């Protein structure tokens, strides 16, 4: 099997990682598994399409703009759909069901706005192909790898160095303690939703050129969730490793086993992990919060 397949896997893996990060972040902060998180990818990809087309901004700037817009949308959605349930101390299942409803709202809302047809990003973004170490690689793949790496570094710095980031970590560690130390927990949770959605949105913009943008690409969220579990749910480094690993396994699996069942491979892995080692491959203790 060639190295190119692995590189391809890593590229898709980067996308998974970015989305998986959002899942883990949101879960850690609020205890909610946001099923609709995949839709931030959809919205991001479609927003990116519009931004590129309408403003003609360069790709990099569009990325930043989508990051911000998705983030704001994430915050808004948290306020409208999740907070009212969370503050009522309703059973855990209610929040999850609400997020399932959000999938329909976001995906079908997107369809009404952008239509049902897949939208292709300008071909120029795909970048040029070139040879390295005897493989053909697109420059865009390298961009994805680079941008993902950059985002990871920024996230690390943000979480470890800034006041806001530290508050987020505090809330994730213990909501109660954070509240006692005077952190505005609700605001932090809301921001975490925003940050997660922003990462999802960027993932969408990065993903669209190698796929397409459409109202129904949000299912990628479920695979990314698989990635988050694979690496240990709620664990940032785990989300990234899980994403990359899933990308590679899927790429290798679809060339060696079956390409029509490519998705089935990812979901099969998900079920296996949930059954055999729900704490993730490298995980010790994760899972439900008290």
Partner 1 sequence: MIAAVLVATLVQSRFIISLLNYSLVYVILALGLQLIVGVTGQLSLGHAAFYGIGAYASAIATTRFGMPWVVGILLAMAFATLGSLLMSLTVRTRGIYFAVATLAFGIIIHLVFVNWVPVTRGTMGILGLERRLWGQWRIDSPQGYFLFLAFVVCAVYVFLARLTDSRFGRALKAIRENELAAQSIGIDVTRYKIKSILIGGATAGLAGSMMAHLTRMVTPEPFGWWKSIVLLIMIVAGGLGSMPGAAVGAFVLTLLSEYFRGYAEYSMLAYGLIIVFFMIYLPEGLAGLWHIIIQKVRWGGRRAVW
- 3-state class of 276 per DSSP? helix
User: Rule CB under 8 A: is residue 113 a binding residue for partner 1?
Assistant: no
Q: Does 68 bind partner 1 (CB under 8 A)?
A: no
Please calculate the CA angle 204-250-213 and round it to the nearest 5 degrees: 20
Q: Which span sits near partner 1 by CB under 8 A: 11-19, 52-60, 82-90, 136-144?
A: 82-90
Give the one residue of 229, 236, 245, 251 binding partner 1; rule: CB under 8 A: 229
Minimum CB distance to partner 1 smaller for 27 or for 140: 27
CB 157 within 8 A of CB 136: no
With CB under 8 A as the contact rule, the residue among 64, 76, 109, 212 that binds partner 1 is: 109
| Closest distance of CB 93 from partner 1, Å | 6
Among 58, 60, 84, 122, which residue interacts with partner 1 (rule: CB under 8 A)? 84
Does residue 42 interact with partner 1 by CB under 8 A?
Answer: no
Which run of H or of E encompasses 38? helix 37-55
Question: Under DSSP, is residue 219 helix (H, G, I), strand (E, B) or coil?
Answer: helix
Please state, in angstroms and as integers, the Cα–Cα distance from residue 165 to each residue in 120, 188, 192, following that order: 36, 9, 9
Q: What is the DSSP string of 142-177?
A: HHHHHHHHHHHHHHHHHHHHSHHHHHHHHHHH-HHH
Q: Return the residue of 64, 94, 249, 282 that touches partner 1, per CB under 8 A.
A: 94
CB distance 236 to 168 below 8 Å: no
Closest CA to 25 of 158, 223, 183, 219: 158
Who contacts 226 (Cβ-Cβ below 8 Å, separation ≥6)? Answer: 242, 246, 266, 267, 269, 270, 273
H/E element holding 129? strand 129-132
Please select the residue that binds partner 1; options are 53, 57, 92, 136, rule is CB under 8 A: 92
Please select the residue that binds partner 1; options are 1, 93, 133, 163, rule is CB under 8 A: 93
Least distance in angstroms from the C-beta of 172 to partner 1? 17
Contact region for partner 1 (CB under 8 A) — 167-175, 185-193, 200-208, 217-225?
217-225
Pairing relation of β-strands 135-138 and 129-132?
A: antiparallel
Shortest Å, Cβ 133 to partner 1: 35
Minimal distance, residue 207 CB to partner 1, in Å: 19
- Among the listed residues 24, 33, 141, 224, the single contact to partner 1 using CB under 8 A: 33
Interface with partner 1 by CB under 8 A: which residues?
Answer: 33, 35, 81, 84-85, 90, 92-98, 100-109, 111-112, 116, 219, 222, 225-226, 229, 260-261, 263-264, 267-268, 270-271, 274-275, 278, 288
């Amino acid at each position: 099997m060639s190295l190119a397949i692995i590189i391809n896997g890593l590229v898709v893996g980067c996308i998974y990682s970015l989305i998986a990060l959002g899942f883990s972040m949101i879960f850690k902060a609020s205890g909610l598994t946001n099923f609709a998180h995949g839709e931030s990818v959809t919205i991001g990809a479609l927003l990116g399409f519009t931004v590129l087309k309408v403003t003609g901004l360069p790709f990099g700037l569009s990325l930043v703009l989508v990051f911000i817009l998705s983030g704001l949308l994430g915050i808004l959605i948290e306020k409208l759909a999740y907070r009212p349930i969370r503050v009522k101390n309703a059973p855990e299942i209610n929040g999850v069901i609400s997020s399932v409803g959000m999938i329909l709202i976001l995906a079908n809302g997107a369809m009404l706005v952008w239509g049902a047809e897949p939208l292709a990003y300008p071909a120029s973004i795909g970048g040029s192909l070139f040879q390295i170490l005897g493989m053909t690689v697109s420059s865009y793949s390298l961009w994805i790898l680079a941008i993902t790496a950059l985002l990871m570094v920024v996230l690390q710095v943000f979480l470890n160095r800034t006041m806001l980031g530290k508050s987020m970590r505090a809330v994730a560690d213990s909501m109660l303690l954070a509240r006692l130390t005077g952190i505005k927990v609700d605001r932090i949770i809301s921001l975490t939703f925003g940050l997660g959605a922003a990462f999802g949105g960027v993932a969408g913009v990065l993903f669209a050129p190698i796929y397409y943008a459409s109202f129904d690409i949000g299912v990628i969220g479920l695979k990314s969730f698989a990635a988050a579990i694979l690496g240990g749910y709620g664990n940032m480094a785990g989300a990234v490793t899980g994403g990359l690993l899933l990308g590679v396994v899927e790429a290798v699996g679809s060339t060696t086993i079956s390409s029509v069942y490519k998705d089935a491979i990812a979901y099969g892995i998900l079920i296996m992990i949930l059954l055999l080692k729900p704490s993730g491959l490298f995980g010790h203790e994760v899972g439900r919060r008290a």
